[in-house]
Each structure stands twice: as structure tokens, then as C-alpha cells.
A = this chain, B = another copy of it.
Amino acid sequence: MLNYSTSEENYIKAIYHLQRQDETVTTNELANELKTKPASVTDMMKKLKIKKLLHYQPYQGFRLSSEGCKVALGIIRRHRLWEYFLAEKLKFSWDEVHEVAEDLEHVSNKKLIDKLDEFLGFPRVDPHGDPIPDANGKIEISKKICLTELPFNTPANVSGVSDQSSEILELLEHKKITIGVKLEVKKKFDFDNSMEVRIGRQPAFTISKQLAENIFVQTP
């Protein structure tokens, strides 16, 4: 596996994330994501095409090649392991880890990352509930859905919240809803769209439509 510059890595990672939703990524989308200019994107795309990391025909958008995907998964593995380390060991709060991991992820020493993985006990998800690729780049693809879309009686793990205000965190803490907790939906009420959910075997309790809309879960 070759070595790529920080800039190249940031482009590869951004394309990987953007092409999840859409089929092919456009120049403007990527420029917007990376807070750069379309002309810079085109320059880099030419470079990454030569390195065989992506498929790209002028004016037709681009997507990662299988080699490009492998590289992206390596970067994401590093990013998420560092996020886990920062939250779990250094006691960074949930919303701080991403920014710091953005820098750490570019230190690409395979032995370092594999030993870090081992030290952390081979975690399978990062502090936001996103899956961590293993040393071979394998990743558990479990789609993140909104709690409002979870069918009845289907256990799912809480994997994140979209709003990160202190107000919502206060409420989540009170209701003992934290990342990784296993939830299932028992009832929904059409009147106000509130729902009753249950954590494990504990008694069910009610959460509002507003809260449910901000909670994301993953089914294994």
C-alpha cells in the first residue's frame, strides 16, 4: 500500500462519504464538502485518476476505484480508532473527538494503528456509533436509520444524534439513552407522534416526536 499526502487523503475520504448517498460525485459537491474551489478539485481528480484511485471522465463526475475504496477505508479506520481512543481513554467529549482525529488520521503507520486497535480491545464502533473497519478493511455495513423509521419490536443500537445541543444531551442523559444502548419501539401514537420505547428488559417509557427525530439507530 502506497503512501498518500494529507491533501490526497482528505479528497479520497470526502469522495467515499459523498458516494454513499449518491452514485457519482460532482466537482461542486466535493469542492463544497472540502471548502475549496472547483478548479482545485479538478486538478486533484486528474492526479488521483493517474494514480488509479478513481474513475473519472471530464464533466462526468467521479467515483472511487476499488483501490481508492481500500485507501479510504484505511483512513476511516485510523480516524475512528483515534476517535475511540480520545473519547474512551482521554475522556474527550463526544463532539470534540472528530476535529482532533482529523489530524491524527493522517499518521499512517500500519503497526501503530494495529497496536492501537489491540490496545483499545478491537472496538467495532466509534463514539458516534459508526463502524470501524478492521485491519483488512472489512467494515460492518449496517445502515443508520432515524428512530422514527424503526419497526416495532426490533432491537437496534443507538448510534448518534443529529442535534448536539446541551438541551438534548440533558434529556438523553435523564432518559439514560446513550450511544450503544439497545432500544426497541413498542408503540406509536398518531395524535402527537410520540412513541413508547424500551431499553433492554426495563419498563417502556415515552419520548416525543422531536426527540425521536434526532436519534439515529443501527440494526445489527
Binding site for B on A (CB under 8 A): 86, 89-92, 96, 100, 103-104, 107, 109, 111-112, 115-116, 118-119
- In angstroms, how far is the closest chain B Cβ from the Cβ of A104? 6
* Residues of chain B lying within 8 A (CB to CB) of residue A119: 89-91
Nearest-neighbour CB distance to chain B for A120, whole angstroms, equals: 10
- Residues in B neighbouring A103, C-beta threshold 8 A: 107, 109
- Contact across chains for B104 and A116 when beta carbons are under 8 A apart: no
Does A91 contact B107, Cβ atoms closer than 8 Å?
A: no
Task: Say how far A154's CB is from chain B's closest CB, in angstroms.
Answer: 38
Q: List 21 A-B contacts (CB under 8 A).
A: A86-B112, A89-B119, A90-B112, A90-B115, A90-B116, A90-B118, A90-B119, A91-B115, A91-B119, A92-B111, A92-B115, A96-B111, A100-B107, A100-B109, A100-B111, A100-B112, A103-B107, A103-B109, A104-B104, A104-B107, A107-B107
Q: In the complex, A89→B121 CA distance in Å?
A: 12
CB-nearest residue of chain B to A116: B90
**A100 contacts which chain B residues (CB < 8 A)?**
107, 109, 111-112
Give me 7 other A-B pairs in contact (C-beta within 8 A), A90-B112, A100-B107, A103-B109 excluded. Answer: A90-B115, A90-B118, A91-B115, A91-B119, A100-B112, A103-B107, A104-B104
Report the Cα distance A92→B92, complex, angstroms: 24
| Cα(A204)–Cα(B118), bound, Å | 40
Q: Which residues of B have CB within 8 Å of A115?
A: 90-92
CA distance A86 to B115 in the complex (A): 9
Q: Which residue of B lies closest to A96 (CB)?
A: B111
Instruction: List chain B residues, Cβ under 8 A from A118.
Output: 90
